[in-house]
A and B are shown apart, each in its own frame.
Chain A
């Protein structure tokens, strides 16, 4: 595949790995999620540019708006966790484990 395709695919995969294998902090999972969003933004923009499909030119903006919402939701959860548990370390988030 072309280098550009490889770059955002690799970025997406690395972010996914980071989300799946995050060990200590909840914040690192959220940052990986942001990285995945960023790679998807680049992918959508390249779609419009390379395939000359002007109908999709607004899609990246939409993705950005929704990712902002999602990021703020994630941050709110982080703050709530920090308030109740005192830290965002994942060892503390084991209440639902049986």
Chain B
């Protein structure tokens, strides 16, 4: 067999084998030893990362992509489902990144969850999640993708509700499941449509068979699925609520890997969307709305993890906008670079939270730059990468997206919203850095702030290196499939940078106002709107269940029970008959002997009359 093929296929299947092996060891009846999490899980992920570099380098060298179809799983007469892995440029680049980020997060999680008695179970859940995510990313058919999709959804539920004694955590986990399920309706609709109209769930066959069909319905289904999984506007409240889970969970699931699954689905199935203007416009407008709305909500939040969660949601909106621009590769580039700096932001927040004795309110932090210099430096690097500072990781993806937006024929409203959201990104990033790192400490001095543990330092350093050079590396090595427009007026070229600097200056001005009071009782309607997340959760989480419960009450209790059973059916019959029975009963006095005597006498009289 050819060396390249052998090397690629072997290493790619080795990744799965390495990741599944710790799960199998955990199935044995003997309890796991205390450092199983480190010796087995983290080592497995590290090994898998190193193994996944081999296909990456082969791809970079030769451009080799591979599809492995191993097993004919099940079939009907006209439809069959296989176990099929697709390692094209998307999966080959994403898998090492996901494994690298996961490796760092697992190392951090061993420090963060050290006092947890169920740490082995935690790591098992994270590993299961990772396997589901890799399955999703490498799926060549919709069935396998759906398995990965549901797998990440369920693991998200289990991990968000890790501290299930807390009512808020249970509510948040339930929210995640319900919102994801609404999105799954769209995915199942699309899968059913494809099964019926293109006779296959294999992605290549779907592309070929659907060339002349009107794809609006399945594409709307796929967009609904992405809305649910990637927290676009309308199905977004679960993502900030998901911050109830431990910080490693937020870093892994809700920043780098799970939430990009919806966008990844759209990227994979992009050839279906290229020619459908309605789907593209929907993506564009939905993404623009999402990115601005969530950036607005992030401006006034006080919980550091919620700010980063909204920032994730905003970047996901940006990715959706990119897909709406017909640029899936840029969206994928943004997914890859975003994974690094977002995971790092979460790890920095986790480090700060733990150092300050579980304080998550940024109004009670401050001065961390002197107390935890490495952490706050990484926070700054992450924030700069997020805002698209030139030549850090985020710049290559974000600037390219904004340039593509400026030079495309698109909806002007979407463009304005996206630029506004870009400036808001700078604002809330500066707000985080200002409240956390700068100024003087606003917390009690009793918590020992010590970041000298290599379990924290090494992940942060690795992710910081990634946030700095990953954008450059990926851009240098990926050939763009669509030609970017190279010439544009200088204002357009610099627009992303200008709005970010504008936002930064505005935020600095606002930050300097924190030490002065202009009004004793300020009028804050806009602040309330932003702080209460646009009142969206307050309205929807109360109105929808109330309407459903009223509907249930009307149908189940009132219509079926009361009306059908009691008024019309059996009880109605008895309630109509009962007064008549009582009346009849009152008439009779039970004097049987008198009645029988009367009967006899009447009989005699009748006989006599008939004789006479």
Contact = CB atoms under 8 A, between A and B. Distances in A.
Contacts of B586: 98
Contacts of A97: 589-591
Interface in A1-52: 16-17, 19-23
A8 to B, nearest CB: 16
Q: What's the interface size class on A, roughly?
A: 10 to 19
A90 B593 contact: yes
B536 interface: no
Interface string B588-612: 0111010011011001000000000
A20 B590 contact: no
Contacts of A22: 593
B600 A16 contact: yes
A96 interface: yes
B543 to A, nearest CB: 59
Chain A interface SS verdict (over half): loop
Interface residues of B, number: 10
Contacts of A21: 593, 596-597, 600
A21 B598 CA distance: 10
Interface in B198-241: none
Contacts of B596: 19-21
A90 to B, nearest CB: 7
Interface string B574-587: 00000000000010
B79 to A, nearest CB: 68
A23 B596 CA distance: 12
B589 A20 contact: no
A17 B600 contact: yes
A6 to B, nearest CB: 14
A17 B600 CA distance: 7
A21 B600 CA distance: 9
Contact of B600 (A20, A96, A98): A20
Contacts of A20: 593, 596-597, 599-600
B600 to A, nearest CB: 4
Contacts of B597: 20-21
B589 A98 contact: yes
B534 to A, nearest CB: 73
Contacts of A16: 600, 603
Contacts of B599: 20
A13 B590 CA distance: 24
B363 to A, nearest CB: 82
Nearest to B604: A13
Given A20-B599, A20-B600, A96 B593 contact: no
A96 B586 CA distance: 10
A98 B124 CA distance: 80
Contact of B590 (A17, A19, A23, A98): A98
Q: Which 9 A-B pairs have the closest CB atoms?
A: A96-B590, A20-B600, A20-B596, A97-B590, A20-B597, A98-B589, A97-B589, A16-B600, A17-B600
24 contacts: A16-B600, A16-B603, A17-B600, A19-B596, A20-B593, A20-B596, A20-B597, A20-B599, A20-B600, A21-B593, A21-B596, A21-B597, A21-B600, A22-B593, A23-B593, A90-B593, A94-B590, A96-B590, A97-B589, A97-B590, A97-B591, A98-B586, A98-B589, A98-B590
